[in-house]
Amino acid sequence: MSDHWLAQLNVGVLKAPLDDPSMAEFASLLDPVNALAESSPGFVWRYTDEGSNDATAARPFGGDILVNFSVWRDRESLWNFTYRSDHLDLLRRRRTWFTRMSDMHLAMWWIPAGHIPTLDEARRRLERLRADGPTAAAFTFTTSFPPPEAAGAPEPAAPPRH
Amino acid sequence: MTGSGIDALGVLAEPLRRRLYDYVAGHGGEVSRAEAAEAVGARRNLAAFHLDKLVEAGLLEVSRRKVSGREGPGSGRPAKVYRRSGREHAVHLPPRDYGGAAALLAEAVERAGAEEALYAAAREEGERRGAARAGTAATEADLARVLERYGYEPAPVPPGDRAARSAGCPDAADPPAHRPMPAAACPVLRLRNCPFDAVARSHPPVACGMNLELLRGLLRGAGADSFRADMAPAVEGCCVLISAVAPDSKTNSD
């Protein structure tokens, strides 16, 4: 068992309000896809608005920005859910519901196993990725980094600097 | 790599090796020495010799597996089992780099948000491919032959799985809640090989969306209206699943 989990933040700009008819299919897929994530091997945690089953109401990053924020055992489990499950069908059609973003919109980073990251932490990781490109502190699927040295090596008291 | 591709090709020039390779690759899983030897009608030692040559050339992978039913001390050494290697071998003379071009084009499609244009082009190409074989893909076996030509390595979905995956199939249990499979569709062919593997790994939504439209176009062009193609990715193989439908219930709406 690894000493580290993989956190990921993914943001998307909605093309229309979630209750708009053009978004109806996407809205109807939220619950099944969230359930699929939770039943996928390696799933640890996903962010939800307080008192809700999803993260579509609070909009902590802005009015039309949806947040997808979760924690996985490793890169492989996140990859298999993202690209090798029915979630892929949603990604295939994402232009139907989301505006294309020129900024990087998906950041991942290693966290000590047992830690549940905060939205602030996630925001800083995405900002870091946008500022510096992929580094061990915030990276992408295309340019990913291995987890920090496991058991045996001295564990840093705090996560890498933000 | 041209060099390793030529070496691998050279190893396959030996007819028995070629038959062994075809058997293991076509089997779609792990094959023991005894099975492979029997399949090609060779002595086990000779088959083992050639199988190991195929491993050396990077065409097969070997692992060791206990023969089932024998456990604990004295049950013997685990037997060697072979499967097709995930490594790609390509020979282009003169050298060509279509994979590099595909990755760049996929990246550009993603950056420009031009997925719809790619999907439309793929649908049209699929229809051309299908039209060239119109009327030859009416049955499951015929359709499998067409898909084989394009490198998908179709394999029949076992009857038990057909029923488990869709409410429209005989004896279906409750369909999985997450799979938006229409009630009247019954999975018949899974595709063991992804012909676009490298770009499907580097740009999954773009490559898999393109592939889906190619296959939907092919079915339409071939007039194979008793089948439909849906996204149903698993950890290995192609992201698309072919299902049988009653022609009037076919929607392929999105």
Residue B25: CA count within 13 A, CB half-sphere: 20
Which residues of chain B are within 8 Å of residue A35 when distances are taken between CB atoms?
Answer: 177-178
For residue A102, the model assigns a pLDDT of 80
Give kind and range of the element (H or E) at residue B186.
strand B186-191
CATH architecture of the domain B2-84 equals Orthogonal Bundle (1.10)
> Which region among A123-137, A144-158, B186-200 has the lowest average model confidence (pLDDT)?
A144-158
pTM, two decimals, is 0.85
Contacts of B116 in chain A (CB under 8 A): 95
* Whether residue A153 has pLDDT greater than 50: no
**Domains in chain A, CATH or no CATH each:** 4-132 (3.30.70.100)
Domain with CATH 1.10.10.10 in chain B: 2-84
pLDDT of chain B, 254 residues: tens digit per residue: 456 788 888 999 999 999 999 999 999 889 999 999 999 999 999 999 999 999 999 999 999 987 665 566 666 778 899 999 989 998 899 999 999 999 999 999 999 999 999 999 999 999 999 999 988 888 999 999 999 999 999 999 987 777 655 555 654 444 444 455 555 789 999 999 999 999 999 999 999 999 999 999 999 999 999 999 999 998 889 999 999 987 555 454 44
- Here the ipTM equals 0.83
A-chain residues within 8 Å CB-CB of B178? 32-33, 35-36, 86
Chain A residue with minimum CA distance to B237 = A84
CA neighbours closer than 13 Å in the CB half-sphere of residue A108 = 24
Is A162's Cβ below 8 Å from some Cβ in B? no
- The Cα of A93 is separated from the nearest Cα of chain B by a number of Å equal to 8
Nearest one of B179, B230, B165, B167 to A32, comparing CA atoms: B179
Mean pLDDT (whole number) for A6-29 = 95
Hey, CA dihedral for B22, B27, B30, B35, is it positive or negative? negative
Give residue A158's pLDDT.
45
Q: Between A89, A95, A142, which is nearest B116 by CB?
A: A95
Q: Do B205 and A100 touch (CB under 8 A)?
A: no
